[in-house]
Amino acid sequence: MTKFPFDSVLVANRGEIAARILRTVKSLGLRGLVLHHAADTSAPALRLADGIIAIDGANPIAAFLDSGQIVEKAIRAGAQAVHPGYGFLSENAEFCRAVTNAGMVFVGPGPEAIDLMGDKVRARAFVAARGFPVAPSAIEDDDPASFAARARALDVPLLIKPAAGGGGKGMRIVRDLARLEEELAAARREGERYFGDGRLYVERYVERPRHIEVQILADQHGTTVHLHERECSLQRRFQKIVEEAPCAALPVAERTEICDAAVGIAAAAGYRNAGTVEFIYGGGSFYFLEMNTRLQVEHPVTEAITGLDLVAEQLRIAAGEKLRFGQVDVQSHGHAVELRIYAEDADREFAPCTGKVLVWRPAVGDGVRVDSGIEEGAVVTSGFDPMLAKLIVHGKDRAEALERAERALTQTVLLGCGNNLGFLRRLIGLQEVQDGLIHTGLIADHADRLRTPAPSAAVLRAVLAATALSSRAVREAADAVPRLHAAIGAWRN
């Protein structure tokens, strides 16, 4: 049993990931603290926590990005370790340094690794210099004056990316070189707006690629292992929405190559704790995309096929413990699928939705897990990311996992706030998805087939009748006795 050098952990996050981390923290006998902003109402994480640290700021997101305030209040609350979750400050090297300088343990990699892999240009150069495959590219920092010309020489299609980017922000596909300068300028503006850094790089775009990523764990004693790969190709606006483990399309030899490359990249970087190395895969070739120096949203599918608790492993590594297993011990069992439940309208280009959660009844059953950040009565606002919950299913094979996913989506009830449950059902039901013929552009290619179908005349009449009868005024009018009939009194024929 691990003897932790800390007895209290602050989860510097919110929503479903805060609740998920707290459950493991408490299962290990540690005290769990969590951040809270007044904009969050009825958050499940608040009930799970042993202590709540109130934060404030110009807006909710600014509060969760205020590293100085968070570190100061964490010390005051007696936190001895900080788990950043994902998003917010999870890949901020200065936050990592501030936590460790304050005498607390940062549950994640060191600031040097975050700095290296957080800069996409430096990361690509680092990986390429060590012989790992990267897509042909042009990097602005190499020679800003010739950047556009070097990008043009790669020929179309091209993918423009901010050097400090992530989450799909600022990324643009160019298929017409006449628009290259215009798209470069637009991507630069977005990079400056989202990341405060307008530097760019351009790489040859792989058409209809698969997005494959490898989960790694590395301790502080030189051991690095992979926990197999995940398929993350179902995306909208360059953001993942459905993830699977393992990837059903990878031949054994290529699976081994990709997983070994991920371990090699992490080891070369002196990485420790949990991380994910991402690749683009197509035509039998794969290229390094980026490394995320944190826990991933989709980590539950890896937990489902390996039986490991990744947060527990993160905490043990942060405590200085050696990994309790080697590569040969990490076996993959069955197939898992994760579906992200968002407060968004897929028919309006995935525009965020707001509203009060009136009914929330997540699915239950064999092989079903739901990581949720909401409960009935909660108010979904535009102040945070629109992801509400994650539905994770596990089966003996991909066919059973998809069948359970379809059933679980049908059983899940979320009323009061617009959401993508119907969209996910239609997406999972596509024959291309069932057959595993997926790629990062599939959702865009089948946008028309994925739209909400128009209701039939019979359904429309039933909905209108139910809506009318839900009005008290309509019911009273329907039940009222006309004055002439009321004047008859109790007379009966």
CATH for 101:
3.40.50.20
Q: Is 385 found in the same domain as 317?
A: yes
Contacts of 137 (CB under 8 A, 6+ apart): 124, 154, 201, 202, 203, 204
Q: Output the furthest CA–CA distance in the chain (Å, rounded).
A: 100
| pLDDT for 464 | 85
Q: Digits of tens for pLDDT over the chain (493 positions)?
A: 789 999 999 999 999 999 999 999 999 999 999 999 998 877 899 999 999 999 999 999 999 999 999 999 999 999 999 999 999 999 999 999 999 999 999 999 999 999 999 988 899 999 999 999 998 899 998 899 999 999 999 999 999 999 887 667 789 999 999 999 999 999 999 988 888 889 999 998 888 999 999 999 999 999 999 999 999 999 998 899 999 999 999 999 999 999 999 999 999 999 999 999 999 998 889 999 999 999 999 999 999 999 999 999 999 999 999 999 999 999 999 999 999 999 999 999 999 999 999 999 999 999 999 999 999 999 999 989 999 999 999 999 999 999 999 999 999 999 999 999 999 999 999 999 999 999 999 999 999 999 999 888 888 888 888 888 787 887 777 777 677 666 676 666 5
Antiparallel, parallel or unpaired: β 210-218 and 224-236? antiparallel
| pLDDT for 167 | 66
Q: Is 412 found in the same domain as 321?
A: yes
Residue 94: both structure tokens together: 């200065």
CATH for 439:
3.30.470.20
Do the domain assignments include residue 487?
Answer: no
Measure the CA dihedral 20/22/25/30, to 10°.
-170
- Burial status of residue 264 (CB atoms within 10 A of its CB: 0-12, 13-18, 19 or more): middle
Count: domains in the chain: 3
Q: Are 296 and 20 in contact (CB under 8 A)?
A: no
Q: Is 220 found in the same domain as 194?
A: no
Q: Is 301 found in the same domain as 191?
A: no
Residue 280: both structure tokens together: 């683009």
Range of the domain at 228: 210-450
Q: Which of 176, 204, 232 is the last residue of a domain?
A: 204
Q: Is 320 found in the same domain as 295?
A: yes
Q: Is 292 found in the same domain as 270?
A: yes
Angstrom distance (rounded) from CA 334 to CA 347? 34
Q: Is 33 found in the same domain as 161?
A: no
Q: Are 307 and 228 in contact (CB under 8 A)?
A: no
Do the domain assignments include residue 123?
Answer: no
The pTM (predicted TM-score) of the whole model is: 0.89
Antiparallel, parallel or unpaired: β 273-282 and 210-218? antiparallel
Angstrom distance (rounded) from CA 470 to CA 468? 5
Do the domain assignments include residue 389?
Answer: yes
| pLDDT for 221 | 97
Q: Is 186 found in the same domain as 216?
A: no
| pLDDT for 97 | 98
Cis status of the peptide bond prior to 136, with omega within 30 of 0: no
H-state helical runs in 196-318: 252-268, 299-306, 310-318
Angstrom distance (rounded) from CA 122 to CA 124? 6
| pLDDT for 470 | 80
User: Which contacts (CB < 8 Å, 24+ apart) does range 51-57 have?
Assistant: 51/8, 51/77, 53/10, 53/77
Q: Which of 95, 48, 40, 91 is nearest to 72 (CA)?
A: 95
Do the domain assignments include residue 121?
Answer: no
Do the domain assignments include residue 432?
Answer: yes
pLDDT tens readout for residues 446-488: 999 999 998 888 888 888 888 887 878 877 777 776 776 666 7
Q: Is 94 found in the same domain as 66?
A: yes
Phi-psi region of 307 (alpha: psi -120 to 50; beta: other; left: phi over 0): left
| pLDDT for 476 | 75
Do the domain assignments include residue 253?
Answer: yes
**Interior CA angle at 107 toward 101 and 113, to 5°?**
75
Angstrom distance (rounded) from CA 316 to CA 9? 13
Angstrom distance (rounded) from CA 319 to CA 5? 6
Residue with tokens 């028919």: 347
Q: Is 281 found in the same domain as 239?
A: yes
CA 188 to centroid of chain Cα atoms: 24
In 3-state terms, what secondary structure has residue 343? coil
Contacts of 427 (CB under 8 A, 6+ apart): 234, 241, 242, 433, 443, 450
| pLDDT for 176 | 95
Angstrom distance (rounded) from CA 10 to CA 18? 10
Angstrom distance (rounded) from CA 384 to CA 48? 20
Do the domain assignments include residue 346?
Answer: yes
Q: Is 222 found in the same domain as 175?
A: no
Antiparallel, parallel or unpaired: β 239-245 and 387-395? unpaired
Which amino acid type is present at position 290?
E
- Burial status of residue 284 (CB atoms within 10 A of its CB: 0-12, 13-18, 19 or more): exposed
| pLDDT for 341 | 98
CATH for 173:
3.30.1490.20
Do the domain assignments include residue 390?
Answer: yes
Cis status of the peptide bond prior to 109, with omega within 30 of 0: no
H-state helical runs in 133-211: 147-153, 180-195
Q: Which of 244, 253, 245 is nearest to 284 (CA)?
A: 253
Q: Which of 88, 107, 126 is the last residue of a domain?
A: 107
Q: Which of 345, 339, 343, 363 is nearest to 452 (CA)?
A: 345
Q: Is 215 found in the same domain as 198?
A: no
